């Protein structure tokens, strides 16, 4: 049996309280207003939400649902915001959106009004990569006209990479095998992570400023493969700018062949792997040796041909009249020069005579007309012609005097007096005829002998004829006129 308390009338309320009146019901509009107020006050103005795109509809404005495994929310993106998105979402694509919650009372519908949308994860990086690629193309950084040619034989190459990376070993082994003469300067820098970008930029700036003092001919920027996130530092705008502004050629080999970065696209040359980049920058020693041998052979052949051609040319020149008989050629040239001199001399005399006649003619006309101006001008011309004539005649007289002096010296050299001064003498008979042979005199005949400084009188005691000497017959007649011994008495 259950125990119960005994009934006590004193515990009864003196008066039973009536139930409170029920609240007035809300209208639908009032409820919608309260929902709108609660949403605005309970949520921040800007929310970032990630989810999967579903039911996408492009009707100037974008309409789609954003969902995850258990929930769905309706999203609206107006045309002005959609134009700034830079891409069109695809159904099933993971996106990151930013916007505000809005309650549309007429339809009783809650919507997420979006301000921005971007792909989530790797998709966001791809979108950012496309935007940066468009920018560098507009700047002309990827244009082939901007890119510089690589040096044919670099003496020193700067390699920007991580000291501990496998790419460095691939580069060093390849360069050592192909051309050990090429020097390598390592510039250690991180190749991934937050610190990679400033270190890569600093390395490029350092080499740009000091490439002359360091004797750097080219730069190799390289690292091994990795994910897009690992290689993202090579998609930085400032890294690309540092490559473009570098004064020496830059070769980029980032990741594997399928990986493409902005740094590779703006570099002067892109290579698929670090090994390929090392092969592209360094010449092949064996190929150079073969090329040098071939060049040496071609030069030997060209030199031999050139020498043979010049030898033939010299032989032909030696057979020409000028080289075969130069004395005859110069004699003809000298004769032409003498003729030209005579022609010029006669022409000068003729010209002076014509000028004198011309002046005389005009002088006569001037004397007849007496025009003051004409007379003054002709007088000036006359004086000028007289000066020219005097100058020409003076020159001619000086030249003739020199020729006369030379002729006088020649005549004096062959003068009979000069012959007598050398010890010769001339013997004459009483009638003045010259004694040339013993038969011209008789014994007892008085003779006169002419010496350089006087005359000796002698008488012939006897004469003896000397035997004649044998000599060749003269082919020409004896000279006419007086000889050296015909002396004027």
For the domain spanning 144-283, the CATH number is 3.40.50.261
Give which of 209, 162, 220 is closest to 188, Cα–Cα.
162
Q: Half-sphere exposure of 197 toward its Cβ, with a 13 Å CA cutoff?
A: 15
- Residues 6 or more apart whose CB falls under 8 angstroms from that of 329 comprise 321, 322
Split at pLDDT 50, 70, 90, the class of 229 is confident
**Contact between 154 and 217 (Cβ < 8 Å):** yes
Q: Half-sphere exposure of 340 toward its Cβ, with a 13 Å CA cutoff?
A: 6
Task: Say yes or no to pLDDT of 243 above 90.
Answer: yes
In angstroms, rounded to a whole number, what is the distance separating the alpha carbons of residues 312 and 324?
A: 16
Split at pLDDT 50, 70, 90, the class of 370 is low
The model's pLDDT over 46-88, given as tens digits with 9 standing for 90+, comes to: 899 999 999 999 988 999 999 988 999 999 999 999 988 878 8
Task: Say yes or no to pLDDT of 444 above 90.
Answer: no
Predicted pLDDT of residue 76: 95
Predicted pLDDT of residue 115: 93
Proportion of the chain above pLDDT 90, given as a percent: 27
The model's pLDDT over 246-257, given as tens digits with 9 standing for 90+, comes to: 999 999 999 877
Task: Say yes or no to pLDDT of 395 above 60.
Answer: yes
Predicted pLDDT of residue 198: 94
Least confident of 23-32, 120-129, 270-279, 349-358: 120-129
In angstroms, rounded to a whole number, what is the distance separating the alpha carbons of residues 308 and 315?
A: 11
Predicted pLDDT of residue 368: 67
Split at pLDDT 50, 70, 90, the class of 232 is confident
Least confident of 123-127, 348-352, 382-386: 123-127
- Mean pLDDT over 207-211 rounds to 94
Give the single-character DSSP code of 55: E
Task: Say yes or no to pLDDT of 22 above 70.
Answer: no
Could you confirm whether domain 28-120 is CATH 2.40.50.140?
A: yes
Task: Say yes or no to pLDDT of 1 above 60.
Answer: no
Q: 120 vs 10, which has greater pLDDT? A: 120
State which H helix or E strand residue 141 sits in: none
Predicted pLDDT of residue 172: 92
Q: Which two tokens stand for residue 469?
A: 């000497």
- Mean pLDDT over 148-164 rounds to 92
Q: What does the buried/exposed string (b/e) look like for 368-395 if buried means 16 or more CB atoms within 10 Å of the residue's CB?
A: eeeeeeebeebeeebeebeeebeeeeee
Task: Say yes or no to pLDDT of 7 above 60.
Answer: no
The CA distances from residue 252 to 44, 216, 263, in Å, are 47, 16, 7
Please provide the average confidence, as pLDDT, over all residues in the chain. Answer: 83
Query: Which phi and psi (to 5°) does residue 55 adopt?
Result: 60, 45
Q: Is the dihedral of CA 387, 388, 389, 394 positive or negative?
A: positive
**pTM for the whole structure:** 0.44
In angstroms, rounded to a whole number, what is the distance separating the alpha carbons of residues 1 and 258?
A: 89
Delimit the domains of the chain by residue range. Answer: 28-120, 144-283, 327-413, 417-458
Predicted pLDDT of residue 425: 84
Split at pLDDT 50, 70, 90, the class of 469 is low
Angle at the Cα of 278 from the Cα atoms of 275 and 282, rounded to 5 degrees:
145
Task: Say yes or no to pLDDT of 476 above 80.
Answer: no
């Amino acid at each position: 049996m259950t125990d119960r308390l005994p009934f006590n009338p004193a515990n009864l309320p003196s008066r039973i309280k009536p139930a409170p009146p029920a609240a007035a019901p809300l209208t639908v509009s009032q409820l919608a207003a309260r929902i709108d107020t609660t949403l605005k006050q309970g949520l921040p103005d800007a929310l970032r939400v990630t989810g999967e795109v579903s039911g996408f509809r492009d009707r100037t404005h974008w309409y789609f649902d954003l969902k995850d495994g258990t929930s769905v929310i309706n999203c609206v993106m107006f045309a002005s915001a959609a134009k700034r998105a830079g891409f069109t979402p695809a159904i099933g694509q993971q996106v990151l959106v930013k916007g505000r919650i809005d309650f549309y009372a007429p339809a009783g519908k809650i919507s997420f009004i979006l301000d921005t949308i971007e792909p989530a994860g790797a998709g966001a990086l791809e979108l950012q990569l496309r935007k940066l690629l468009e920018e560098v193309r507009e700047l002309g950084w990827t244009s082939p006209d901007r890119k510089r040619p690589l040096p044919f034989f670099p003496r020193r190459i700067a390699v920007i990479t991580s000291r501990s990376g496998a790419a460095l070993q691939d580069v060093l082994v390849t360069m050592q095998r192909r051309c050990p003469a090429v020097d390598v300067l390592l510039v250690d820098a991180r190749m991934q992570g937050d610190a990679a970008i400033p270190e890569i930029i600093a390395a490029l700036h350092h080499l740009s400023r000091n490439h002359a003092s360091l004797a750097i001919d080219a730069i190799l920027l390289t690292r091994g493969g990795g994910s897009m996130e690992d290689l993202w530092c090579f998609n930085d705008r400032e890294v690309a700018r540092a490559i473009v502004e570098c004064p020496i050629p830059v070769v980029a080999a980032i990741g594997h062949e399928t990986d493409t970065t902005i740094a590779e696209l703006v570099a002067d040359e892109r290579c698929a792997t670090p090994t390929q980049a090392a092969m592209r920058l360094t010449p092949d020693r064996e190929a150079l040796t073969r090329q040098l041998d071939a060049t040496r052979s071609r030069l030997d052949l060209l030199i031999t041909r050139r020498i043979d051609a010049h030898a033939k040319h010299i032989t032909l020149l030696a057979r020409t009249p000028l080289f075969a008989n130069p004395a005859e050629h110069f004699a003809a040239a000298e004769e032409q020069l003498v003729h030209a001199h005579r022609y010029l001399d006669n022409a000068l005399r003729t010209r002076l005579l014509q000028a004198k006649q011309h002046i005389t003619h005009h002088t006569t006309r001037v004397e007849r007309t007496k025009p003051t101006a004409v007379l003054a001008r002709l007088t000036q011309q006359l004086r000028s012609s007289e000066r020219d004539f005097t100058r020409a005649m003076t020159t001619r007289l000086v030249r003739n005097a020199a020729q006369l002096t030379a002729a006088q010296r020649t005549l004096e050299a062959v003068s009979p007096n000069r012959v007598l001064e050398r010890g010769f003498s001339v013997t004459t008979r009483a009638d003045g005829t010259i004694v040339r042979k013993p038969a011209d005199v008789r014994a007892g005949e008085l003779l006169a002998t002419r010496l350089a400084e006087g005359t000796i009188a002698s008488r012939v005691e006897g004469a003896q004829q000397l035997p004649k000497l044998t000599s060749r017959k003269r082919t020409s007649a004896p000279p006419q006129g007086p000889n050296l011994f015909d002396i004027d008495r």
